[in-house]
A and B are shown apart, each in its own frame.
Chain A
Amino acid sequence: MTDADDNVRYDQARYVENGQYEPLLSEKDLTRVEIDEGDDGDDSPLPDDLTRDSLELPELSEPELVRHYTRLSQMIYGIDSGPYPLGSCTMKYNPKFTEDVAAVPDGAVHPDRSEESVQGTLELLYRLQDYLGRIGGMDAVTLQPPAGAAGEFVGIRVAAAYHEHNGEGHRDEVIVPESAHGTNFASAALGGYEVVSLPSDDEGRVDLEALEAALSENTAALMLTNPNTLGLFERDIEEIAEMVHDVGGLLYYDGANLNALLGRARPGDMGFDVMHYNVHKTFATPHGGGGPGAGPVGVVDELAPFLPSPRVRTDGDASYELFEPEHTIGKVHGFHGNWLVLVKTFAYIARLGDEGLTDASAKAVLNANYLASRIEYDVPYEPFHHEFVASAGDQDAADVAKRMLDYGVHPPTTKWPEIVPEALMTEPTEVESKDTLDRLAAAFNAVAAEEDATLEDAPERTTARRIDQTSAARSPRLSWQTLSDEEE
């Protein structure tokens, strides 16, 4: 199956009414409710000066709403619709049963419940801390950060607290490879650090000489993902760890690419001191249009006293309690983080076990290598693990992506990392079959053979045609109120 014509013909749902796609709720109805202080006892129980005058929102029947949201859902492409090889984002199939385990009523407890009354919740959290510690080779884990970037920020805050505690508060620099996720830079900056950008060497890995030059007594930490965003394993990781530790810095592991390593290597064993897990990428939790996820953080013993509060511990006698680490940085979420995501993570790990997790990484790496061997675009850096970065060459990577949509597949991440010109960053994950990978490769290859004009005109089979993103930014219209103001 290599011919584009053999590919799945894709036509995404599109509803058109009065010349527009599915109308906004506000275009179906807007009803204004006046709020007055009532004398007869059936209106506002509050004095006028404490209440708003009115509230204007759509008022629709349940059947109308069901159709609206059903139509909207049909105008979305998800991993359940087809392959979604979005490099660095690890869009893998999520088993359906994890949704059910997270929906059990016993899990829906208020965060202020007494510890005695939520022993089940605490035990599940404790067991998940333990699972994640084993998988990452880390001594202690907090489950509180509500996303990967939040986990990075916790890592940065923990590093700062650790240095401060040791009388090393002068350390004000965090080193980040230029190919790293943008969140690394932003999280370090949010933590108050100067960000020192680290160039890659010719092979796409950390340039050791540049690292040597960047390291100093001001280094608080080096943030690294391994394999890196090119899918390449940092082979010199032991030397890197030694160099960072020699100047008194900490080594931070960005867990975004952990799916490539499950059961084969552990950040703790490589010399990392602190890491976050993107549990929604490596384990289970559908990405839900951009979240929620969760970003637990693991640390070595030395850093454990600084973790956010509270953590869970047991007296070893099936009794669980919350506790505050000795030098805790405090809290990074109002309550306990994204609990429902953590339940799914726990269930996924418990389902797969050692062999399933290890097999997942093996097949993720096999799939990436197989797909790369099938596509005609150049892949300049190898050997890669779970993802690879191809170059669209003379074509515009963003246009390539638009055209791929017409072949019923989601395109890769485009134009990043910038090390590769017109980058197509591709991560098929372990959940795609050989047939699907062949279909994906056929889509890549069909597009590679097409004229620029075809690409620029794409996509044509999707709900909306090419969207003008420039005008969206130039004259922002961010609510239905703005749209109706324009019409007036």
Chain B
Amino acid sequence: MTGSHSHATGSPYAPHTEDERAAMLEAVGVEAVEELFDIPEAVEFDGEFGIDARTERETRELVRSLLERNDDLTELLGRGHYGYYVPSLVDHLADRSEFLTSYTQYQPEVSQGFLQALFEYQSLLVELTGLEIANCSMYDAATALGEAATLADRVRSTGGTRVLVPDLLREGRRSTLENYVAGTDLVVEEYPTEDGGVDLAALEDGVDEDVVMIYAENPTVRGTIEERLAEIGDLADDAGALFTLGSDPIALSLLERPVDVGADVVVGDASVLGLPTSYGMGLGLFACREDYLRQVPGRLVGASEDATDRRAYTLTLQTREQHIRRERATSNICTNQAWVALRTAMHAATLGPSGMVDLAKRGVERAEGLAERVDDLVGIKAPVHDRHHLREFVARVDQPARAIAADLEDRGYAVHVVGDHELQICVAGATDEQIDGFVEALSEVVR
């Protein structure tokens, strides 16, 4: 089929015509492409994967039909991952193919647009955290926490081995952290919480010179707002330990600035802006004090000038990175979540400062409003914790929580089960109508 781009049996994305292929083989000086493979016979693969090729349409249909098997539920789920509405602008602009199909900006002269967008993302986090430095993304909150611990291990001049985390820490974050520190001398220990917030007296008893990092979250995984962060910061400071705070961009729009409570590092999931729920795909935010500049993990975009003296952006301080410093790098991270960071920056820009603050305020008002409505029902008490809440709260049910959640699911609503008689309910991405429907369904199942 001379000159044809038909691909009945090959890769549809390899554009060679038969004539071109023949000309190329001739230029290379072989008769068949097989001659170019230098693979010993003993390890050649002569079998088949058994994967049938499909047309584009069939493939789309396959994926669609698989995912259609998911139940269509209204998700009142949070606990570190939130399904906020993402404005249309984000999809349309982030999907512009120059953003999508470029790689790491090793040639900054042809990558100014992406570098500037990442510089703006870094700047967003600097404003939100009050810390001087933010990198241009890690994988997710859990891995960013792991990186914070290894940073603490590097910068703590006096040594020490203990990393303190709250007993409320999500299992996925705890486990990931354990893996990150497995190659160090660090040990992860829990400190107690009380009524959904840090038990400061107990924490104080547990802090000594051997502590390298204290980690706290605001809001906590149970949706409560920590009231004594500055005191945790002081405790860490007195022990010469780093204070690492876990949060996210929406919470940081309203809650105390990390720098004002003595945070040295802020980690968290920034994809609370810019991404739908995506089965937990995330964007690790990482910000820290300027003192740790040379020890920061991940990529940094900096401003410089080009040959015309105009401001231009470039990846910088790459001597910290794995492709230069290899086993002495500050992190093994290479590919990160740059495109998700772009989406987050776009979403934040769309909201503007008032939109960000309003979104956070509504998270407080709607969580507390829903908790009141839930508390009015018989057989359920909310919120369990006598604290301020953002986005979500824990409710106590008389009946087994698992059975209530299953009944709710039958009625089209998903909530967390966090204890034998505890449910957790999140308002983040829900509309007012969905919340009304949920209260109705809940009133039926707790009876």
User: What is the chain A residue whose CB lies nearest that of B259?
Assistant: A52
Q: Tally B residues with Cβ within 8 Å of A.
A: 190
B231 to chain A, nearest CB (A): 12
B73 adjacent to chain A (CB < 8 Å) = yes
A270 adjacent to chain B (CB < 8 Å) = yes
Given contacts A289-B105, A468-B306, contact A111 B277 (CB under 8 A): yes
- A476 touches which of B127, B300, B356 (Cβ 8 Å): B300
CA distance A432 to B11 in the complex (A): 12
**A436-481 interface with B by 8 A CB criterion:** 437, 457, 459, 462-469, 471-473, 476-481
Could you list 9 A-B pairs, sorted by A, with CB under 8 Å? A32-B353, A35-B357, A45-B365, A52-B260, A73-B93, A79-B103, A356-B10, A437-B24, A478-B302
Q: Does A25 contact B349, Cβ atoms closer than 8 Å?
A: yes
B391 adjacent to chain A (CB < 8 Å) = no
B381 adjacent to chain A (CB < 8 Å) = no
CA distance A32 to B103 in the complex (A): 35
Given contacts A264-B39, A356-B10, contact A106 B112 (CB under 8 A): no
Given contacts A120-B69, A355-B10, contact A101 B255 (CB under 8 A): no
B83 adjacent to chain A (CB < 8 Å) = yes
Q: Does A182 contact B329, Cβ atoms closer than 8 Å?
A: yes
A124 adjacent to chain B (CB < 8 Å) = yes
A31 adjacent to chain B (CB < 8 Å) = yes
Q: Does B353 contact A56, Cβ atoms closer than 8 Å?
A: yes
B122 adjacent to chain A (CB < 8 Å) = yes
A365 to chain B, nearest CB (A): 5
Q: Does B337 contact A291, Cβ atoms closer than 8 Å?
A: yes
Leading 7 A-B pairs by shortest Cβ distance:
A335-B280, A192-B183, A288-B339, A353-B53, A111-B280, A334-B142, A120-B69
CA distance A203 to B277 in the complex (A): 50
- A113 touches which of B73, B139, B311 (Cβ 8 Å): B73
CA distance A19 to B416 in the complex (A): 54
Inter-chain contacts of A20 with B (CB < 8 A): 310-311
Proximity bits, B80-123, A CB within 8 Å = 1, else 0: 11010000010111011111111111111111111011111011
**A98-142 interface with B by 8 A CB criterion:** 99-101, 103-114, 116-121, 123-124, 127, 131, 134-135, 137
- A50 touches which of B36, B256, B307 (Cβ 8 Å): B256
What range describes how many residues of A lie at the interface?
A: 35 or more
A78 to chain B, nearest CB (A): 4
User: What is the chain A residue whose CB lies nearest that of B101?
Assistant: A78
Inter-chain contacts of A360 with B (CB < 8 A): 10-11, 13-14
B74 to chain A, nearest CB (A): 11
Proximity bits, B134-161, A CB within 8 Å = 1, else 0: 1001011111000000100000000000
Q: Does A21 contact B312, Cβ atoms closer than 8 Å?
A: yes
A238 adjacent to chain B (CB < 8 Å) = yes
Given contacts A370-B27, A373-B27, A472-B304, contact A479 B53 (CB under 8 A): no
